[in-house]
Amino acid sequence: MAHIAWLGKKTPFCGNVTYGLSTTHALRSRGHGISFIHFDTPPGSLARSSDALPDADNQGDSNGGGPEVALPYLVKSQVYTIPSLGAQRELRESLERLKPDLVHASLTLSPLDFRLPDLCQQLGLPVVATFHPAFDASLRNLTAGTQQLTYQLYGPTLAKFDRVIVFSELQAEMLLRLGVRAERLAVIPNGVDTAMWQPASLAAAASPDLQELRQRFAGRRVFLYMGRVATEKNVEALIKAWRLVRPAGCVLVIVGDGPLRSALQAPGDEPDLVWWGYEPSLERRVAFQQLAEVFLLPSLVEGLSLALLEAMASGTACIATDAGADGEVLEGGAGIVISTQGVTTQLRTLIPVLRDQPVLTAELGRRARERALERYTLEGNIDALEKLYAQLIPQRSLVA
C-alpha cells in the first residue's frame, strides 16, 4: 500500500471537491494512506483527521486516518485560489515531514500549481496532476475562449509532471498540441459509486429523503438541474426555455447556487420552477436524482460533469450540451446531446417531447445507467489510478 500526499480542495463546494473527497475515500478503503493538503485556516496547521474539517460530501473521513495540512491563503473561490506568502514554504516542510511515496495534485488553479513539479523533483517525489478545467474544443463562445487560455497557460507546467490525468480523449488531444508528451498523459474518466447513485427501483426501500421529496412534488414530473448557477453553466438558457414552454404537470428544480441566481430568479416562478439552492446533504442529492425524470445540463464549457454521471447512474434521462467530454459520455444513444449554440431553442423543442413521451425518458434512463456501469464507475477509476501509481512507485505492489 502507498502513502499518497493529496493536494486538493475541500471548500468551496465544486466538482474538484467532490472528485478529491470521493477518490481519497475510495483509496483509503483499499488500504492506502492519505495525507490531505488543502487551503484553509488556521494557516500552517497540521492535525490528525479527528481535527479535520467536516467532509463536504458527507462521506466521513476523507483523509484515510492520515494527517491533514492546511495551507494559508488570501483569497479562495470555486475557480481560483491566491495563497499567502508562507504557503509554499509550508507545503515544502509538510512534504518533508510526511515523506509520502507520491504526490497527487487535483489542481486547484493557484500559483502553487506552477511550482509543484520543481518542488517535488527537488524532494525526489513522483508527482501526478489531475487537470480539471472545463473546455469546449470548438471555441464556439467567449467562455470557451477564456478556458482555452487556461489550457495554454498551464501547458508548459503540465509537461513537467510525471503524469497528467485528464477525463477524455479530447482533453488529451488539446494538451498534446500544447507540448505535453503522450507518455505522460493518462485518460482516466471520472467515476461514480453506482451502488449509491442508483435508480430508486433497485434500492431495498425508498430513503426518508426520497419519500419526503415525493410528497413535496406529488403529482408533478420533475426535471432537474444540479450544479453551479454561473455563466459557464448557461442556466439562463435553460430557464428561458422553461418559461417559454411552461409544460403542464411538470416542475423544473434548480439545485445549486451561484453568482447569477439573484439575477435569474423571479417572484412568479413557483410552482413550476423551484429554486432549491445549495444542498449540502449527499443523501438528499441522491434522492433528487432518483426522483427526477429528466436531468438537464446546458453548459457552455465542461470537463466531465460528475453531476451528469450521477444522473446517469441513477437511471435519469439526460440532456447535455457537447461541451467538454459530456457529448462523448452520452454519444450513441445514452442520452440527448445538443449544441452549445442555440441552447434555448433546442430545449424549447425537446422539453415538450420529453413531457409527452414518458416511455422515451424511461428508455433513455435505462441506457444512461447501462453506460455508467460500462464506463464510469468509481471502482474502475480507482483501478486505473492504482495502475498509474504502480508505474511511478514500482518497488511495491499497490493492489491488495
DSSP secondary structure string for all residues of 1-12? --EEEEEE--SS
CA distance 345 to 5: 47
pLDDT at position 147 = 61
CATH code of the region 200-375: 3.40.50.2000
Residue whose C-alpha is closest to residue 303's, from 140, 176, 114, 172: 172
The pLDDT, as a whole number, for residue 44 is: 39
- Same topology between domain 3-191+377-392 and domain 200-375: yes
Question: What is the mean pLDDT, run by run of 10 residues, along the chain of 400 residues?
Answer: 92 82 94 93 42 36 64 84 92 95 92 95 96 67 58 92 92 90 95 95 93 96 95 95 95 95 88 94 97 97 91 98 91 95 97 96 98 96 96 66
Distances (CA, A) of 149 to 50, 154, 221: 40, 9, 41
Looking at residue 137, what is its pLDDT?
A: 56
Q: Which helix (H) or strand (E) holds 254?
A: strand 250-255
One-letter identity of residue 167: F
**Cβ-based neighbours of 177, under 8 Å, separated by 6 or more:** none
Domain boundaries of the chain, sorted by first residue = 3-191+377-392, 200-375
Topology adopted by domain 3-191+377-392: Rossmann fold (3.40.50)
> Which pairing describes strands 46-47 and 68-71: parallel, antiparallel, or unpaired?
antiparallel
Give the pTM. Answer: 0.84
Q: Which residues contact residue 232 at a Cβ distance below 8 angstroms, ignoring those fewer than 6 apart?
A: 134, 143, 147, 299, 300, 301
First to last CA, the chain: 7
Rounded CA-CA distance 291/284 in Å is 10
Query: At which residue does the C-alpha cell 504526490 appear?
Result: 103
Distance CA 375, CA 93 (A): 39
- Give the model's pLDDT for residue 297: 98
What residues are paired with 277 via a beta bridge?
255
Structure confidence at residue 9 (pLDDT) = 86
Q: What is the pLDDT of residue 18?
A: 86
